[in-house]
Structure formats: C-alpha cells, structure tokens
C-alpha cells in the first residue's frame, strides 16, 4: 500500500466525528462505510436516522476532494427533508470554529459558569432548544480534558476523546451568546430524489433517465463475477422497480 494506513484511519474517524458532532442536524449515525484503494484513495458513505421523523440522511465524502475535514468537507449530503441545523463545518462558520477552539482552552469553571448564566436567561426558542439537554456540571470532566490538551484549532478539538455533540453545542452557544460569534445554521443537505416522484413531487418521473439507469445496472450485473443464479436473482429484483 502506498499510503500510510494511519492517514486512512484518521480520515474514517474524522468523517464520523464531523457528521455526529460538528454537523448537528438531528440525525444519529448508525452506518459507516469506509472504502479505499491500494493507492490510498478513499471515500465514506454513512447514514443517519432521525428518530422523530423516521427519515434517513446519507453523507458522502470523497477523499481527493476534501481540502479540510472541518470546512465544507462533504461531496454530498442527501435527504428527503431539510431544516435548521448547527453547521460548524460551513464556510461561514470559520470564526465560530476558531472561537470554540479558543474557548476549549479556558478553565472548566469559567465555561461552566458562563453556561449556567445562559440557562438563567430568557433566550430565543432556537437557543432554548440547543440548551435544553445540556447540564453544565456534567461537562466539567471533558472541559478539564480540553483545558489540559489546549487544542490549537477546531479540528484538533474534534480529535480529543469524549468531545461530542453536547461539548460542541455548549461551546458554540458560549461563542454566540457571550462573544457574539455565531455558527451557521444552514442545512447543507440536498434532496435525494434521483428520478422524480410518482406523485409529481418534487418533479415528475424522468422516464428516459430512469430507464437508462436501469440499463446501466443490468449491464453491471451481467459483467459481475458471480454465479448465473445470483445474476438472475439480481436482475429479477431490478425488474421489480420497472
């Protein structure tokens, strides 16, 4: 293998950490697939589930296109629904990333004091939602860890064991409400309808494109290295969608 395996392990872990902690969109990751070649090229496809809506969301990463793990790293995010999210990896969140990394270097008692003060204020609904399941005293241990390790940037902060959704959310709230540096709340997902919907939503089925894609899949199955029985079963299942 031409690439250090440790780089691939790091990429796999960072993709999972980003989509679970730095991009907080209400979807819990339950599937992570990391694919790589001998030359060191890699890709990630992982999926999350929103337990309230029962919608799934799929996250796509393509290694050669990733310029930064913490700034617009996705090749695509596909979902049937969009909403307001905490998006710490948006381009426009660059100041918030820097501020949260600096805050993570603060003494734990100072951060906990600021969070408790925020909880005593009457805040807009969005901030109340972000604060509702944060218990400042329970963050003391992880804040002590970040204080001891002194992360120099947001990516370094994410690599610290134990830093998760609540840690990032707490730091981003202090950043916005105490220091006036807000993260992005833009949802980066794109709708995942590839061929349109039978009900005409979001647009009518593109039959030509639909048939062409089925033909591509049939060709791939016919050339696949598997037994004739498996090929017939695969083609039979493919015919069910026609």
- Distance between CA 99 and CA 170 in Å, rounded? 12
Position 17 pLDDT exceeds 80: yes
pLDDT tens digits along 137-177 = 999 999 999 999 999 999 999 999 999 999 999 999 999 99
Task: Report the candidate in 77, 71, 73, 70 with the shortest Cα–Cα distance to residue 91.
Answer: 71
Task: Please report the pLDDT score of residue 195 as a whole number.
Answer: 60
Question: Which pair of structure tokens corresponds to residue 73?
Answer: 């790293």
**Residue with the two structure tokens 């990733």:** 66
Q: Hey, is 212 helix, strand or coil?
A: helix
Task: Please report the pLDDT score of residue 207 as a whole number.
Answer: 77
Question: Which pair of structure tokens corresponds to residue 100?
Answer: 């949260």
Choose one of 59, 87, 115: the last residue of a domain.
87
| Dihedral pair phi/psi, residue 36, rounded to 5° | -145, 160
Residue 20 covered by a domain = yes
Rounded to an integer, the average pLDDT of 94-112 is 97
Q: Are 172 and 101 within one domain?
A: yes
Choose one of 32, 53, 87: the last residue of a domain.
87
**For 101-155, where are the E strands, in sequence order?**
none
Q: Are 166 and 97 within one domain?
A: yes
Task: Please report the pLDDT score of residue 225 as a whole number.
Answer: 81
**Range with the lowest mean pLDDT among 43-52, 95-104, 195-204?**
195-204
Task: Please report the pLDDT score of residue 50 as a whole number.
Answer: 93
Total number of domains in the chain: 3
Q: Hey, is 232 helix, strand or coil?
A: helix
CA dihedral sign, ordered 50, 141, 103, 111: positive
Residue 186 covered by a domain = no
Q: Are 9 and 68 within one domain?
A: yes
User: What confidence category does residue 182 fall into, taking pLDDT thresholds of 50, 70 and 90?
Assistant: very high
- Distance between CA 227 and CA 59 in Å, rounded? 32
**Range with the lowest mean pLDDT among 65-79, 93-107, 127-141?**
127-141
- 59 vs 119 pLDDT, higher one: 59
pLDDT tens digits along 74-83 = 999 998 888 8
Residue 42 covered by a domain = yes
The 3 state secondary structure assigned to 142-192 is HHHHHHHHCCCCHHHHHHCCCCCHHHHHHHHHHHHHCCCCCCECCCCCEEC
**Range with the lowest mean pLDDT among 24-33, 98-107, 160-169, 208-217?**
208-217
Task: Report the candidate in 17, 24, 14 with the shortest Cα–Cα distance to residue 183.
Answer: 24
User: What confidence category does residue 214 fall into, taking pLDDT thresholds of 50, 70 and 90?
Assistant: confident
DSSP state of 237: H
Domain span including residue 80: 5-87
Rounded to an integer, the average pLDDT of 49-74 is 95
Task: Please report the pLDDT score of residue 209 as a whole number.
Answer: 77
- Residue 70: other Cβ atoms inside 10 A: 21
Tell me what the pLDDT averaged over the chain comes to: 89
Max Cα distance, the chain (Å)? 68
Task: Please report the pLDDT score of residue 67 as a whole number.
Answer: 96
Burial class (CB in 10 A: 0-12, 13-18, 19+), 35: exposed
């Amino acid at each position: 293998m031409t690439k250090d395996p440790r780089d691939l392990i790091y990429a796999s872990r960072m993709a999972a950490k980003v989509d679970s902690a730095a991009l907080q969109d209400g979807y819990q990751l339950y599937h992570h697939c990391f694919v790589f070649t001998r030359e060191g090229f890699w890709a990630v496809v992982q999926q999350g589930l929103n337990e309230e809506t029962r919608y799934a969301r799929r996250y796509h990463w393509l290694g050669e296109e990733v310029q930064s793990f913490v700034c617009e790293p996705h090749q695509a995010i596909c979902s049937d629904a969009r909403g307001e999210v905490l998006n710490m990896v948006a381009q426009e969140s660059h100041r918030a990333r820097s501020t949260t990394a600096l805050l993570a270097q603060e003494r734990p008692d100072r951060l906990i004091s600021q969070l408790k003060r925020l909880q005593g204020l009457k805040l807009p609904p969005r901030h109340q939602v972000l604060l509702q399941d944060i218990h400042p005293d329970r963050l003391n241990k992880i804040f002590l860890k970040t204080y001891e390790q002194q992360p120099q940037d947001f990516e370094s902060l994410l690599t610290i064991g134990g830093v998760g959704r609540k840690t990032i959310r707490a730091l981003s709230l202090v950043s916005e409400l105490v220091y006036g540096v807000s993260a992005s709340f833009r949802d980066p997902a794109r709708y995942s309808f590839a061929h349109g919907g039978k009900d005409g939503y979001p647009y009518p089925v593109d039959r030509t494109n639909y048939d062409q894609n089925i033909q591509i899949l049939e060709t791939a199955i016919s050339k696949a290295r598997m037994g004739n029985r498996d090929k017939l079963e695969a083609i039979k299942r493919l015919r069910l969608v026609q």
